[in-house]
Structure 1
Amino acid sequence: MTLFIDPTSADTRREDPTPEGHAPGDPARRQGFSTRQVHAGERAVAGTPRATPIYLTAGFSFDEYDAAESHFRDGEGYAYTRVANPTIDTVESRIAALEGGTEALLVSSGQAAMSVALLSLVSAGGHVVSSAHVYEGTRGLIADNLSRFGVTSDFVWDIGDPDAWRARIRPETRALVAESLSNARNEVLDIAAIAEIAHEHGIPLVVDNTMATPYLLRPLEHGADLVVHSASKFLAGQGAVIGGVIVDGGRFDAAHGALFPHLLAPQGPGGASVAERAGGRAWIAYARETVAPRFGSTLSPFNAFLIGQGIETLSLRVERQSANALVAARWLEERDEVVSVDYAGLASHPRPDLAARYLPDGHGAVFTFTLRGGQAAARGFVEALRTFTHMTHIGDVRSLVLHPATTSHVGRTPAEQAAAGVHPGTLRLSVGIEDVADLLDDLARGIAAVRVGFGS
């Protein structure tokens, strides 16, 4: 049954009747309760915060009528958080400064960061060359998702061979993609060498710097053009939020126009192109203005705030985590139950020269090691741990463990897993900030379980 109420009826109740003698439009008239609960107090004078405030709002009011037109014409001020937000802007500026870039763009996840970066570069008929050692989400994006839109790809297994990269570049190639420090085998990318190859062909090198962090390595300083991070990892540090970021080195120039005509095309009636307006920042300007807001990969201002808080202790955490990881890797390498340890800080690493060149301040907190006894040994090891948390994440203040063959790399064939350094007995560690003696005790507990499991 539908109830109809006659607004002229005597039964109609008002929360705040108009005071006698104050007609609508009279400035002395008191606003109703429902109006006051929405608007009262919002014009209070704000203090000057020392910490970054959280602008947790969908939109922003315009102070004057012409301000709306100015924003939509020139981009001045703020209108809607999907496009720009003061909290997000602050954290973007901080990350750009740490990476040595000209501008950063925060988005909803690390996967969104790589997606937005590539969608800003490639079009149907384009081509991407990627390291085969990239994160599985990145590999799937390039090989599966982009291919549905007519973008082809090739993957390089021997990323240390510049000729292997050069041989896969075609006239339609629009980007080279790699990780500065790979997950899971700790391959160190020769950024300068691969950047030189990319620039020979007028295309950008996109580097995922999540594992190394800008504290240990800044790819833009070695010739990379765009850097991406899963900000959920080391930048945030606490494992509570998801976010991603793209940082532009500002190296776009007119010579790139033939390969990226969408950046030279006029926007709007008689409008200037992205390249004309943004100059060397054209790649990220296009990502910010056209790709990220239209695909809706907006980061919550609250998440941006927590990422910004995490960044304030980034160097302290990564320094401690790297030191702990080196001790743990050396300890594991000495155990008879361990076949191999893949950590860039060890003398046994296949490219110690690159590790010394690109990672002089530490080698990161994430590495893999392989146990004798295959998956059964890995299971026994993980189930014996008490301090390490069994979960799919890295970069947390807490130490974490994962079995890649049955989780992160389960979509690869056994041959592809082996080529990536993932075997049935391989475990990945993300080392946290705990006391290193406690971490070694826990690893010893895992080793003891493996030893008991095989009757030794």
Structure 2
Amino acid sequence: MDLQTIALHEGYTKDSQGTMVVPIYQTTAYEFRDVQHAANLFSLKELGNIYTRLNNPTTDVFEKRFAALEGGAAALATSSGMSAIFFAIANAAESGDNIVCAKQLYGGSLTLNTHTLKRFGIEARYFDVHDMASLEALIDEKTKVIFFESLTNPSIDVADIEAITAIANRHGILTVVDNTVATPILCRPFKHGADITVHSASKYTTGQGLAIGGILVEREDLVSKLRTNPRYEHFNKPDASYHGLVYVDTNLPPYTLRARLSLARDLGAVLSPFNSWLFIQGMETLFLRMQEHSKNALALAEFLESHPKVKKVNYPGLKSNANYKNTQKYFEGGLCSGLLSFEVASLEEATKIVNATKLYSLVVNIGDSKSIITHPASTTHQQLSDEELAACGVPAGLIRISCGLESASDLIADMKQALEA
């Protein structure tokens, strides 16, 4: 099926009432038929509902539908995009290990990887997403994950997914791709060798800034990479916390299974059924919205590129952009989402422009139906030093825009008056 059809139908068989809309199963627990039925569920002899911290019928539809959009085998919904990233890394790495990350990352991911994971004994090492030599030089026998974004936020770079995954596969290392900004509508990393994707569903998936949530997806046949791989012994040895279960021997997608039975079970960072339902509604229009977001962003980027006050525009849909070649290779139809950034002369000039806009909302979010403007150096990346800001492509004069679904001419007119105020 095509993506727009999957987004409307996958994962839901109408219940006994024939409801067209997926029901909200707002419950914490489920009644078992008898003791044997309960025992079978807990031992995975049967699959079914146990407790909403592990699974829920509404969330199950969301997970199946999103996995199908990505072309993956299975998914695990989480309470936020950050928890999806943490689960993806913690599922592979432990104290004494390291992860290799692109330095062009969302500020929250940089903080998680550099500071929080350090307290768990996991070291983060950074490479330039455009420099494959810098990536390979960081890998050793303790490297468990290579983490990068398909379309980086807010530097707006497009990763060479095939080049990165080829290096990872040569060393038997898992790749985790944050595909939030592109969404599966525009970019499908599994087609290019990636192992796991993560998303903040709070962004384009909901589309209206209605709910916080995340999702982790694993590719088909990931078990073949995990089985007998010395980097991932915990997938190949009995799990003492779950009846001696060996994840690669279950005939179920092992990465999401372990994340569910170990991390979601123990940490509880799971999605509420109501938020799952909101995300399902958002997915029904995702195909159409991503086209419109992309068209508006390109029109605004072309205007900004021609304005004398703008030093640089970061949007990979522009033919002048250094990422244009990768965009044509990895993004469907060359459409590359609604996120762009541009640089002006100084912090003072950027502040003046942001404060002068009328149609754009000053908000630290992206992917909303309404256009959003952000000054990353003073908000999402404020915790970084000047050196760290420069390294991840966030100078003081950078302004980030998440183009909404308004008229492109109105968005351009408002930006014009702000630049010239």
Shift of residue 360, structure 1, vs aligned partner:
3.9
Aligned pair in 2 of structure 1 residues 256, 284: CA closer, same or farther (>3 Å)?
farther
Correspondence for 1:162: 132
- Which amino acid is 2:111 matched to? G
User: What are structure 2's unaligned runs of at least 5 residues?
Assistant: 1-14
Shift of 1:347: 1.8
Question: Given the superposition, is the C-alpha separation of residues 256 and 358 from structure 1 closer, same or farther in structure 2, using an over 3 Å criterion?
Answer: farther
Deviation of the 1:272 alpha carbon: 3.8
Work out which of the residue numbers 426, 430, 435 in structure 1 matches 2:398: 426
Structure-1 separation of matches of 2:237 and 2:343: 52
Provide the rounded CA distance (Å) in 1 between the counterparts of 2:39 and 2:320: 62
Q: CA separation in 1, counterparts of 2:163 and 2:415?
A: 38
1:303 to 275, 281, 290: 275
Identify the residue that residue 136 of structure 1 maps to in structure 2.
107
Q: Tell me which moved more, 51-60 or 284-293.
A: 284-293
Using the TM superposition, give the Cα deviation of residue 278 of structure 1 relative to its aligned residue in structure 2, in angstroms: 3.8
Do 2:148 and 2:176's aligned partners in 1 also have CA atoms closer than 8 Å? yes
Q: Say yes or no: does 1:76 pair with 2:44.
A: no
Secondary structure at 1:240 match in 2: coil
2:249 corresponds to 1:276: yes
Equivalent residue number for residue 210 of structure 2: 240
Distance in 2 of aligned mates of 1:220 and 1:326: 26
SS at match of 1:141: helix
Q: Following TM superposition, by how much is the alpha carbon of 1:255 offset from its aligned partner in structure 2, in angstroms?
A: 4.5
The corresponding residue for 2:341 is: 368
- TM-score normalized by the length of structure 2: 0.92
Match of 1:34 in 2: none
CA-to-partner distance for each residue in 1:161-216, whole Å, 9 max, x for gaps?
Answer: 22111110011100100000101111111101110100111111100000111000
Q: Which residue does the alignment assign to 2:80?
A: 109
Match of 1:444 in 2: 416
**Equivalence map 1:47-126=2 (5 Å):** 47-74=17-44, 76-126=47-97
Q: Deviations over 1:232-282 (max 9, x none)?
A: 001111101000000001323254531111111223587441111146x22
Structure 1 CA distance, aligned partners of 2:131 and 2:410?
40
C-alpha distance after superposition, 1:216-240 (max 9, x if no partner):
0000110000000000001111101
Aligned pair count? Answer: 402
For 2:60 and 2:122, locate their aligned partners in 1 and report how far apart those are by CA, in whole Å: 32
Partner of 1:183: 153
Task: Indicate which of 180, 186, 189 corresponds to 1:216.
Answer: 186
Deviations for 1:339-379, whole angstroms, at most 9, x for unmatched residues?
1101111122113211211124201111110123x122222
- 2:258 corresponds, among 283, 286, 296, to 286
Alignment partner of 1:265 out of 231, 237, 244: 237
- One-letter code aligned to 1:297: A
Q: In 2, Cα distance between the equivalents of 1:272 and 1:291?
A: 15
Give the AA of the match of 2:179: N
Q: Give runs of ≥4 in structure 1 deviating > 6 Å.
A: none
Distance 2:126 2:41 in 1: 43
- The Cα RMSD (Å) is 1.6
When residues 365 and 273 of structure 1 are mapped into structure 2, their CA distance, relative to the original with a 3 A threshold, is same
Per the TM alignment, residue 415 of structure 1 is displaced from its structure 2 partner at its CA by 2.7
Q: Which amino acid aligns with 2:399?
A: L
